[in-house]
Chain A
Amino acid sequence: MTRFVMPFERPLADLESKLAELKLLDVHDYPELIDEIASLEIEVDKLRATLYAALSPWERVQVARHPDRPKTQEYVSTLFTDVVELHGDRLYGDDEAMLTAFGTLGSRRCLVLGHRKGTNTKENIRRNFGSPHPEGFRKAHRALALADKFGLPVVSLLDTAGAYPGIEAEERGQAWAIAANLAALSTVRAPVVVVGIGEGGSGGALAIGFGDRLIMLENAYYSVISPEACASILFKDSSRAPETASCLAMTAADLMRLGIADQIIPEPTGGAHRDPASVMAAVGEAVGTALDELCVRDIDDVVQARYERLAAIGVYAEGE
């Protein structure tokens, strides 16, 4: 199977394909190859171990964007049963870049939100590559109102490069739609568990992206701005994104350090796309545990704690 090779994986991929080629040869014809293959295998293992041992922030961004990475739709159909998708914002349209649905995790009925990327070009065009217009955020807003009214715990899956920057999105109030969600999320009377499964692009991610727990996959990112945009502002050169990625405190580990995330779910060597089933199962378990903890608490306490947690975020100086 050919798979998408990320730039930093290239040396490993080359070695792997060489190894595969050698293995196709009949070793009876070339007995000297047995040693060759064995040593190459050791080399490949070594390289794989060092390559993925400590990914740089920019490499993690590439993993987070990997086309084969499990996406919102797969999580929903794998982890949830009795799924009822909810369509439309009742104002303008149905934005397929945002998924809103009822779903049952284990035995717990939930409201599920998530940015929805496609798995192929056709899907991606319909879903605008996971970048919502205002109606996507307003669909989520409407769903949050249901969660609030009926006390349904909210599970939100983040995977977007950002809110769509287009003329119509602006004219229909992209900023207004995002802000309304931030206000609603801050007081929704239901537990909110957020999982960063891939890209956490700025305001478009935040619009369904905070709550009572933030769980991050190891290679997911959450950032105020894309590293490319940051590089094009600072250096007038978007190809310097690897540098800005390291400055923006956007990795799961950064978010833990800053007290914004609560938990990191490790990914298999190479990234979540190497073993989607195990990653999705781990997410299901983490979300289930978080909901178990939150759902037994008084909802007023949960909402108050959510506010206090938000209010405490920030590092500033206060006189001498």
Chain B
Amino acid sequence: MPIHDWFKAREARKYTLSSGGSIGDLPDGVWVKCPACKRTLYQGDLDSSNHVCPHCAHHFDIGASIRIQLLVDSGSFEETEQVLASADPLKFSAVKPYTESLERARARSGLAEAVVTGRATIGGYPVVLGVMDFRFIGASMGSAVGEKIARAFRLAAQERRAVVLVVASGGARMQEGVLSLMQMAKTSAEAQRLAIAGLPYVSVLTNPTMGGVTASFAVLADVILAEPEALVGFAGPRVIEQTIRQSPPKGFQTAESLLEHGMVDAVVARAELPATIASVLGYLGARCAKGGDDR
């Protein structure tokens, strides 16, 4: 699982700041450089444009709280399982202790875990929403992420809501070893149960979605959407390069190429996501608790 690829790619994509400081705590009035078109942007403009470059439509990576704000009906989000977080079952320590990585991730992201879940409405439709945050150990899936995803599916089944998951991940979290691997089976089993209950599940694949997360719950949705240019795949580009000893073609594993190969339903610009999800739920939500329009 090539988390390091994504950390590397992320390094390259980092905001270029005119002043020092980290991405998480940008004060107003800071200039940022678009990694795609290299133009200098006013942070305030970026904030009001869904964190999409107004010049080239590059979609900046965003954390969970901004994502939730952009997606749900204003004020509708109510977080669940707030205190559920990773433990260190294997006492994993190679290079540095896992507990240290967790502490750093918590400090950096302000989150307890790599996925935030909760109840919300989108276009009036009641959903259980899950949003992954790549700043938290590459939004990798260990026991806690697996359990939170599992509980999100169960809550939706109980309350007859749709599930909407905004996915980003480097894959399974290697610091929890085989326990992480098994979360793939566990989350897939929950997605399958929701499907049997006849309740809808929409996933949004964002940059980047890789490895064991792609190969489990992320692609078991009824409708799979992806953000423009998001990198999505199973094996990382570097692993593939090492295996076949040549560079993957241009555009490989992008949302657009997945669309071309029939793997996602639509590539949807960030600004259109709430409306698109609401439309989809309108069609799939017959067995859900009432909400949205009554067509």
Contact = CB atoms under 8 A, between A and B. Distances in A.
Interface in B217-258: 217-220, 233-235, 239-240, 243-244, 248-249, 252-253, 257
Interface stretch (A82-90, A112-120, A167-175): A167-175
B249 A167 contact: yes
Contacts of B248: 167
B71 interface: no
A79 to B, nearest CB: 26
Interface string A229-243: 110111100000001
Contact of A176 (B4, B184, B235, B263): B263
A184 B220 CA distance: 11
B196 A187 contact: yes
B244 A167 contact: yes
A165 B1 contact: no
B220 A179 contact: yes
Contact of B184 (A166, A173, A203): A203
B239 A165 contact: yes
B32 interface: no
Interface in A148-202: 163-167, 169-176, 178-180, 182-187, 202
Contacts of A313: 143, 179, 182-183, 185-186
B84 interface: yes
Contacts of A169: 234-235
Interface in B181-214: 181-186, 188-193, 195-196, 211-212, 214
A320 B195 CA distance: 34
A233 B3 CA distance: 7
Contact of B215 (A178, A230, A307): A178
Given A314-B143, A316-B85, A202 B179 contact: no
A222 interface: yes
Contacts of B188: 179, 182-183, 186
A192 B182 CA distance: 16
Contacts of B235: 163, 165-166, 169-170, 174
A250 B262 CA distance: 35
A310 interface: yes
Interface in A197-251: 202-203, 206-207, 210, 222-225, 229-230, 232-235, 243-244, 247-250
B182 A166 contact: no
Contacts, number: 208
Contacts of B83: 317-320
Contact of A314 (B147, B216, B244, B253): B147
A247 B92 contact: yes
Contact of A183 (B84, B86, B176, B191): B191
Contacts of A223: 177-178, 181
A228 to B, nearest CB: 11
Contacts of A179: 188, 214-220
B150 interface: yes
B178 A258 contact: yes
A254 interface: yes
B189 A183 contact: yes
Interface size bucket, B side? 35 or more
Nearest to A254: B178
B178 A234 contact: no
A235 B95 contact: yes
Nearest to B84: A318
B180 interface: yes
Q: Which of the listed residues B92, B94, B244 has the most CB atoms from chain A within 10 Å of its own CB?
A: B94
Nearest to B1: A225
B146 interface: yes
A255 interface: yes
B132 interface: no
A234 B94 contact: yes
Contacts of A210: 182, 185
Contacts of A249: 90, 177-179
Contacts of B191: 183
Contact of B192 (A176, A183, A315, A316): A183
Nearest to B102: A317
Interface of A: 163-167, 169-176, 178-180, 182-187, 202-203, 206-207, 210, 222-225, 229-230, 232-235, 243-244, 247-250, 254-255, 258, 260, 307, 310-311, 313-320
Given A178-B234, A182-B216, A206-B182, 11 more contacts: A166-B240, A167-B249, A169-B235, A175-B215, A179-B217, A183-B191, A202-B212, A206-B181, A233-B2, A313-B179, A316-B86
20 contacts: A166-B235, A166-B243, A167-B249, A170-B253, A173-B262, A179-B217, A179-B219, A183-B195, A206-B182, A222-B178, A223-B178, A224-B176, A232-B4, A260-B178, A310-B185, A314-B142, A314-B182, A314-B186, A316-B84, A316-B86
Interface of B: 1-4, 83-87, 89-90, 92-95, 142-144, 146-147, 150, 172-174, 176-186, 188-193, 195-196, 211-212, 214-220, 233-235, 239-240, 243-244, 248-249, 252-253, 257, 261-263
